[in-house]
Structure 1
Amino acid sequence: MHKKILKPFLSKASKDKKKNKAGKTRLNPRLSGELKAVTPPEPSLIKGKNETVALKNAESEAKNGTGSIANLTVTKKEKTFYGIVEPQPINDEMRKSYLDYAMSVIVSRALPDVRDGLKPVHRRILYAMWNVGLRANARFRKSATVVGEVLGKYHPHGDTAVYDSMVRMAQDFSMRYQLVRGQGNFGSMDGDRAAAMRYTEAKLSAIAEELLFDIEKNTVNFIPNFDGSHQEPLVMPAKLPNLLLNGAMGIAVGMATNIPPHNLKELINAISHLISNPEATVEDLMQFVKGPDFPTGGVIYNQKDILQAYATGKGGIVMRGVAEVVENKNGLFQIIISQIPYQINKSTLVEKIAELVKDKKIEGIKDLRDESDKDGVRIAVDLKKDAYPKKILNSLFKMTQLQETFHVNMLALVDGIQPKVLTLKMVLEEYIKHRAEVVKRRTQFDLDKALERAHILEGLMIALNNIDAVIKIIKASRDKEAAKVNLMKKFKLSERQTIAILDMKLSTLANLERLKIENELKEKRVLIKELESILKSTFKIKDIIKKEINDLAEKFGDDRRTKVIAHGVKEFLTEDLVPNEEAVVMMTRDGYIKRTAPDTFKVQGRGGKGVIGLTTKEEDMVEFMFTTLTHNDLLFFTTKGRVFQLKAYEIPQATRTAKGMPIVNFLQLAGGEKITSVLPLDKIAKSKYLFFATEKGLVKKVEIDAFSNVRRSGLIAIKIREDDSLIWAKPTDGNDHIELVTAHGQAIRFKESDVRDMGRNAAGVRGIRLKKKDDTVVGMGVIKNDKEKIKKYQLLAISEHGFGKRTPIGLYKVHGRGGFGIKTAKITSKTGKLISAFVVNAEIMADKDMIIISEKGQVIRLTFKTVSQSGRDTQGVRLMRFKEDSDKVACVTWV
């Protein structure tokens, strides 16, 4: 274990070996001296007779699980290959070293100072540019010059880190107010990197100069740089509240900061209000600061979320890009995206939209173009003729970075060392506190300079008022030093005053020059009085702060770019865009599904040939069909006993002859799994149970509440055996009668109460016994247990060769569940087996139409009255003739 831990040190030491002139190996001097080892050295490296470390015993303990790394320690200093090794417990060393590392990252790298809003690297870049004269009115200089200045004097790290930091300060899409003016390629919103530093040029922006203004007046503390050869500021004087102005991002150790940028005018108005009203609340300040103001514009939502972020220092603010639906000259709609959320890569956004269109997760987009140029962002999304523009826009917000959440974490260093989560008010208070200190120190600096100058001027005035005596003393003195001493003694002058007198030119004796000195002295005395009054008055200091920031607002203030919406995000509801109308949903055996309008199929007379309902491949056929309203939630039950939930309008609308879309695009179906029953949730909500019937005659009922929240991946509705499949699922009240009909014409009617309610994972009980192995259940009906209503019920049976009939339900007596049933239809080669059976209310269905679809896609629409009423053991009448002899009825539904 210790060998592996020491391996990095060994490899490092071997690399640091150097050859002297004699060819002998010597250690790099950097490795000499005392070294603390975090793990014990190799036994062979320990020199001396009295080794006290039982490494073998410790290793044995480690193998046996009774020891630990902490046992592998030495108890005294030893001279080794590396130098002096001092034993240290690894847990103590790791704790101390990690703490040192963490504090270094927190204080010296990742977190900004609340006073100037800058991290050390940004502060050093700006200060270096200030020092080399790259002011706003200067000419541009190569970025490499700046990077070299920063690396050589202040920031002993990688040049890439320095250059990338400078580049970001020059990007108008990253900084709300750029601190660096760049010339050349400084990157783009598409994620393109800036050109190499040898190509680009830079200088300070005018607003950046306000961060350094008065830095030469002892307004902030300076510290030695990394090698003690230069001085660098601990913090900038910062006339502007840069932390909130441009925001900040950084990941430290165990903490991170994410502060959004804001509008200058709003911040200054809030600061002025807070200076005048120190008791103001965050809500009061939000009268001025409406919310973040991002350089890329966009829209932010919900003042409650913004208030929470400002009041606690943490929160999430929803951002959206700006997109509008426009109509082009051809009458087609476009979605034009003109602004994107902050820090979103435009190229990635466009690629994501294209990917969603390719994967058919967003339908209705015909073309996508990035038409952005130097004037701004423009992403054009061309829509298909039948697309719903706002529905697609809503999908773009949901599924792409066109809508993002900015996670606010207003963490910054207070007093340059303490990381703290700050509220909006606390940040502004810290800024005001810092500016008050800067104004005090600047005023004191100016006062000291004024006092010093006034002191000199007073000495000059004494000399001018006694010029003859001064000249006489100077002439009588042996040398300049003697003259200085004699003048100081005679007129009680200070050394500085005396030096100024001795350095005075003869031209100063002129009356005009004398007058200038008198006037300057008067001005200095007035200035001194004013500066002293400022230092004595906190009100005057606050007034100065307000005046200075208001001047900056006039100079640099601009309009808000990000729009603030008071309420939360309001998504476009598809229900508002899609009419709630009746629709026919059709699905083929191969799993293609579509939605069409019912009036697509016209009513024809009995025995008609119908029209083509959809185009199918020769081997495909229509297997399922149902009607619903487009706004309804639908429960899709599958042959494997699972249930899915889907909105009807999510099924794409198509023409009568269109093929449709694969159902697997909408539901996560397994191999061989098919849809067998669909129930609109609104129609079954008042029912108590769902009653299931399988192809092999098993039945089961489950409380309907068990399906109130069906997840996208589906739920188990009934446990299905391998040789069976679910064919029906219908709502019941608990006291209904159930009718089961088989393909060979058998039917049974039993009480629902004969079947106890079960859980979703149950398999069910026997409902009807099948006489023949190839017989299957083809229909299940629910009959209300009411004598008057029962008279109105009829059993409608349709055979595969197009025959059908209606039989009163009263002809079917109630039996116990699990029997073979009784005859319900005469099955012959002419009629074929039953393909479908329905229990219907004749009065309600009198005005309804029936649609019959063949396996080859032939469709006919008939009225209910067209079907003749007859007894149980009859074959019925022909309802449909086929264009091809091999064609058969596939399914039947009602409209």
Structure 2
Amino acid sequence: MARSTADDEFTENIIDVDVSSEMENSYLEYAYSVIYSRALPDARDGLKPVQRRILYTMGDMGVRPDRPHVKSARVVGQVMGQLHPHGDSAIYDALVRMAQPWAMRLPLIDGHGNFGALDAGPAAMRYTECRMSPAAGAMIAGLDEDTVDFVPNYDGKETEPAVLPAAFPNLLVNGASGIAVGMATNMPPHNLVEVIAALRHMLDHPDADLATIMRFIPGPDLPTGGRIIGLEGIRDAYRTGRGTFRIRATSTIERVSPRRQGIVVTALPYMVGPEKIIDQLKTLVQSKKISGIADVKDLTDLANGTRLVIEVKNGINAEAMLQRLYKLTKLEDTFGINNVALVDGQPRTLGLMELLQVYLEHRLDVTLRRTRFQLRKATDRLHLVEGLLIAILDIDDVIAIIRSSEDVAEARTRLMEAFELDEIQTNYILDMQLRRLTRLSRIELESERDDLKAEIDRLTLIVTDDRRLRKVVSQELAAIAKSYGTPRRTVLMGSSGAAESAAGPLEVPDDPTWVLLSATGRIARIDTPDGLPATGPRARHDVIVSTARTTARGEFAVLTSAGRLIRARAIDLVNLPATATAPSLTGGTPVAELVMLNKGERAIAVSGLPDQGPALALGTRDGIVKRVNPEISGQDWWEVITLKGDDEVVGAAELDVDDGERAQLCFITESASLLHFSASLVRPQGRKGSGVAGIRSASPVIFFGVVTGDDAVVVTGADDAPGAQGSGSVKVTGLDLFPAKGRATGGVRCHRFLRSESGLALAWAGPRPAVAGTATGRPVELPAENDRRDGSGDQIPTPITGVASRLAGAIPEPETSPAALPTDARPLIDPPERGDQPGLFDES
């Protein structure tokens, strides 16, 4: 209604509006606000608007990592008052999530106080304190150097960055989740070091494909650890932006009391807390859907992390119980990937390559804008320094002109005419205090001028040369990875291994099984009660270097180069078909994905775990030999030898006490010295023993093994000296040609080097027939046996990575003759590191 000015009466002025049109427009405006201003992250910095505003405000307030904590309520109030007028609870919830280490792979807020737990909310914001984490400082670094655009805030009185510079790919590293109108996003966290390695590879190889990038980013790395079961969903998500994968808790079967076993859970699926598991277990027991659980204890604390102990009643198979719990509780959960983020202001579903590319384009643009800003700043400073150098030559005249001028305008004009300065240089001189002007040093100004010119040349090269710009970005990313990178926490399990475990021991009988370890560090099992097949499965694989017998639900041990025995479960391994003609062979598992290895540590052998523990014989690089008494520990791992200095274990095998008289211990060094002696000369020691001298040699040991029986053979392979053009040589000799000598002696020569050869790269001793294989799984026929124990080897056209006995089922029959193999292969080399080449049980 509108008021009439003519007769001072009210007249009606009603406008008819279509309800459907009004509802449609209002809903679209609401949806637009939720999508762009609240729920979805920007693909460049990986932050939602509220998160970006929190970090920007904290940086503006000076609440940095080197400053004291401040009340969370103070930060929330500042953000709400200046930038985010959507209520304090939404701001505080976002701040809390950025401080929770179980939610963020790299937290952006350093919280002080009760910031909640997986099963409990945080304290009120008036009780908690916060400040930026060091990683958050990297997110906002460069804001004052014109790296990003600023936009007005909600009332136009302040400005805020449209996006943060983001020195690391926050969206992939920390993930995101949010529900908008008609769409949602759910992205898992990843490992910072892996993501940056992929980005640096893309900077050097812009045409890289997804398969190559997945060598650097094999899958998510969740803050809470656990195991990801099945990689097909991850590949789909990396390709299309949508997919699912299963997360399984990390658990072990332990004796929790002298008469009772229990399931000990040390890592839960992402965003699942112990209280939720306990509630589910209580519901299952009360509804009688599961029986056999005696007690549940939550021993989780800040010092030891997650530890949930599920005790099982006597007579209950703990492994069977664990498999049922995987099916019925959140000990195994599903994560649905939905990579929806804003790109150029529009919501898009992005695959891995697109996510990396969007971030790279953003970071290249940020670095270019920062470099241009620094270039302008350096150029402006150089201009002023050059003016000061002109003025300093006649400082007395400059001062005289300033003093004799009536006003600033006259002084400016006279200085410009007298010294040929421009207005900017003249104003700078006039603005300086007289005492500063008279104390200027010509030498210092000339040094500053030279430094500025060098800096300008460097910055100009970055601005004009795209390759130089990419190199700068790559170096900065490498520095970020070095500063904030941490080892991977989540273990990735192949789909075949997952299916085998998911079937559960209730369906899988506890049959005898063989655990197989390959030369390239991959591990699998074969369920067969009759022993290993005479020839291994015909598929792409390398040499099997160690085997151990256990049961499908039993345990075995992995012996490492650091002298540690690490427990592992056979049911977690890929189960290979026992037939030699299996048409489809699934991939094995790298040892590092089954057990936790330290940096530089590698698997040497596998052994069974009887009640008394394995009886082992092992040798070290420095020539130490030890026979280990069959002792066992209740821990997840224990040491079986005390190593001195940087010594490491190079070989090991099971050796029963009764086999000491007929077994021979054999050492081979890099300088081609071979020593074998009776195992009875070495007295068994306990776990803490450091062993005794086995071979006396200044050259490192490259092979140690246990040989039983008379039908044994020695295989040695020499490598070329640096710069030589040969192809390496291999020699096969019967062990009976080498006389046995006493322990702690020097042995005899087993290989005469040609002029172009520098030493042994490979050695092996074991029962006939010996067979060799390449890193790609192709069998290689060895030369005929040489009757000279110190003779030279025969040249081979193809490098080999390992040798084994066909009795162990390691290598299939050669399918081609050596003459048909490539002749341009490089000389015999050491076995490659894990992951460098296709290894044991890789799919063709």
TM-score bracket, normalised by the shorter chain, equals: 0.5 to 0.7
Cα offset, 1:464, TM superposition = 1.6
Cα offset, 1:306, TM superposition = 1.3
For 1:96 and 1:512, locate their aligned partners in 2 and report how far apart those are by CA, in whole Å: 67
The residue identity in structure 2 corresponding to 1:189 is: L
Residue matched to 1:433: 361
For 2:189 and 2:427, locate their aligned partners in 1 and report how far apart those are by CA, in whole Å: 54
Whether the aligned pair in 2 keeps the contact of 1:144 and 1:197 (CA below 8 Å) is yes
**310-319 or 492-501, which deviates more:** 492-501
Whether the aligned pair in 2 keeps the contact of 1:507 and 1:513 (CA below 8 Å) is no
Residue matched to 1:19: none
Residue matched to 2:475: 547
Cα offset, 1:521, TM superposition = 1.3
Q: Report which of the two structures shows the higher radius of gyration computed on alpha carbons.
A: 1
Instruction: For residues 350-374 of structure 1, give each alpha carbon's deviation from its aligned partner in whole angstroms, at most 9, with x where no partner exists.
Output: 1101211121111211111212111
Residue matched to 2:66: 137
Task: Please tell me the root mean square deviation across aligned C-alpha atoms, in Å.
Answer: 2.0
For 2:55 and 2:406, locate their aligned partners in 1 and report how far apart those are by CA, in whole Å: 54
Within the alignment, does 1:474 sit opposite 2:402 as a pair? yes
Cα offset, 1:110, TM superposition = 0.4
For 1:441 and 1:579, locate their aligned partners in 2 and report how far apart those are by CA, in whole Å: 65
SS at match of 2:508: helix
Cα offset, 1:475, TM superposition = 3.9
SS at match of 1:576: coil
Residue matched to 1:154: 83
Instruction: For residues 546-590 of structure 1, give each alpha carbon's deviation from its aligned partner in whole angstroms, at most 9, with x where no partner exists.
Output: 10110111111111111101224232241334799xxxxxxxxxx
Residue matched to 2:205: 277
1:308 counterpart (220, 236, 241): 236
Within the alignment, does 1:245 sit opposite 2:197 as a pair? no
Q: How many matched pairs?
A: 502
For 1:414 and 1:370, locate their aligned partners in 2 and report how far apart those are by CA, in whole Å: 44
The residue identity in structure 1 corresponding to 2:83 is: Y
Residue matched to 1:414: 343
1:449 counterpart (366, 377, 388): 377
Change (3 A) 1:85 1:541: farther
Map 1:206-217; keep pairs closer than 5 Å: 206-217=134-145
Whether the aligned pair in 2 keeps the contact of 1:140 and 1:202 (CA below 8 Å) is yes
SS at match of 1:174: coil
Within the alignment, does 1:230 sit opposite 2:158 as a pair? yes
Whether the aligned pair in 2 keeps the contact of 1:246 and 1:260 (CA below 8 Å) is yes
Cα offset, 1:283, TM superposition = 1.2
Q: Which has the higher contact order (CA 8 A, sep 6+)?
A: 2
Instruction: For residues 458-502 of structure 1, give each alpha carbon's deviation from its aligned partner in whole angstroms, at most 9, with x where no partner exists.
Output: 111111223344344334422222101222233332222112222
Whether the aligned pair in 1 keeps the contact of 2:76 and 2:92 (CA below 8 Å) is yes
1:108 counterpart (37, 41, 55): 37
Whether the aligned pair in 2 keeps the contact of 1:166 and 1:180 (CA below 8 Å) is yes
**205-214 or 327-336, which deviates more:** 327-336
2:426 counterpart (498, 502, 525): 498
For 1:184 and 1:482, locate their aligned partners in 2 and report how far apart those are by CA, in whole Å: 64
Change (3 A) 1:369 1:512: same
1:184 counterpart (113, 124, 133): 113
Within the alignment, does 1:513 sit opposite 2:441 as a pair? yes
The residue identity in structure 2 corresponding to 1:438 is: V
Instruction: For residues 147-203 of structure 1, give each alpha carbon's deviation from its aligned partner in whole angstroms, at most 9, with x where no partner exists.
Output: 11111111001111111110111111111111001111000122x111111110000
For 1:146 and 1:299, locate their aligned partners in 2 and report how far apart those are by CA, in whole Å: 37
The residue identity in structure 1 corresponding to 2:62 is: G
SS at match of 1:574: coil
For 1:430 and 1:308, locate their aligned partners in 2 and report how far apart those are by CA, in whole Å: 19
Cα offset, 1:233, TM superposition = 0.6
The residue identity in structure 1 corresponding to 2:415 is: L
The residue identity in structure 1 corresponding to 2:79 is: V
2:507 counterpart (575, 578, 594): 575
Residue matched to 1:124: 53
SS at match of 2:251: strand
Cα offset, 1:47, TM superposition = 8.8
For 1:434 and 1:180, locate their aligned partners in 2 and report how far apart those are by CA, in whole Å: 23
Whether the aligned pair in 1 keeps the contact of 2:229 and 2:247 (CA below 8 Å) is yes
Whether the aligned pair in 2 keeps the contact of 1:163 and 1:197 (CA below 8 Å) is yes
SS at match of 2:353: helix
SS at match of 2:483: helix
Whether the aligned pair in 1 keeps the contact of 2:395 and 2:438 (CA below 8 Å) is no
For 1:480 and 1:132, locate their aligned partners in 2 and report how far apart those are by CA, in whole Å: 39
The residue identity in structure 2 corresponding to 1:462 is: I
Cα offset, 1:85, TM superposition = 4.8
The residue identity in structure 1 corresponding to 2:310 is: V
Within the alignment, does 1:462 sit opposite 2:395 as a pair? no
Residue matched to 1:863: none
Change (3 A) 1:440 1:578: closer
SS at match of 2:98: helix
Instruction: For residues 419-444 of structure 1, give each alpha carbon's deviation from its aligned partner in whole angstroms, at most 9, with x where no partner exists.
Output: 00111111111111000110011011
The residue identity in structure 2 corresponding to 1:453 is: R
For 2:403 and 2:251, locate their aligned partners in 1 and report how far apart those are by CA, in whole Å: 88
The residue identity in structure 2 corresponding to 1:399 is: L
Change (3 A) 1:160 1:408: same
Change (3 A) 1:579 1:278: closer
Map 1:882-893; keep pairs closer than 5 Å: none
For 1:251 and 1:210, locate their aligned partners in 2 and report how far apart those are by CA, in whole Å: 28
SS at match of 2:216: coil
Whether the aligned pair in 2 keeps the contact of 1:508 and 1:514 (CA below 8 Å) is no
Cα offset, 1:507, TM superposition = 5.1
Map 1:597-746; keep pairs closer than 5 Å: none
Residue matched to 1:94: 23
Residue matched to 1:390: 319
Cα offset, 1:533, TM superposition = 1.4
Change (3 A) 1:515 1:336: same
Instruction: For residues 213-248 of structure 1, give each alpha carbon's deviation from its aligned partner in whole angstroms, at most 9, with x where no partner exists.
Output: 011111011111111221111100000100001000
* Aligned residues with identical type, % of pairs: 42
Residue matched to 2:799: none
Whether the aligned pair in 2 keeps the contact of 1:354 and 1:368 (CA below 8 Å) is no
Cα offset, 1:210, TM superposition = 0.4
1:345 counterpart (253, 259, 273): 273
Within the alignment, does 1:319 sit opposite 2:233 as a pair? no
Instruction: For residues 623-645 of structure 1, give each alpha carbon's deviation from its aligned partner in whole angstroms, at most 9, with x where no partner exists.
Output: xxxxxxxxxxxxxxxxxxxxxxx
Instruction: For residues 649-684 of structure 1, give each alpha carbon's deviation from its aligned partner in whole angstroms, at most 9, with x where no partner exists.
Output: xxxxxxxxxxxxxxxxxxxxxxxxxxxxxxxxxxxx
For 1:329 and 1:101, locate their aligned partners in 2 and report how far apart those are by CA, in whole Å: 59
Whether the aligned pair in 2 keeps the contact of 1:326 and 1:336 (CA below 8 Å) is yes
Cα offset, 1:505, TM superposition = 4.7
Whether the aligned pair in 2 keeps the contact of 1:320 and 1:404 (CA below 8 Å) is yes
Whether the aligned pair in 1 keeps the contact of 2:187 and 2:337 (CA below 8 Å) is yes
For 2:187 and 2:122, locate their aligned partners in 1 and report how far apart those are by CA, in whole Å: 24
Cα offset, 1:46, TM superposition = 9.1
Within the alignment, does 1:377 sit opposite 2:309 as a pair? no
Cα offset, 1:95, TM superposition = 2.0
Whether the aligned pair in 1 keeps the contact of 2:256 and 2:311 (CA below 8 Å) is no
Whether the aligned pair in 1 keeps the contact of 2:392 and 2:440 (CA below 8 Å) is no
Cα offset, 1:511, TM superposition = 8.3
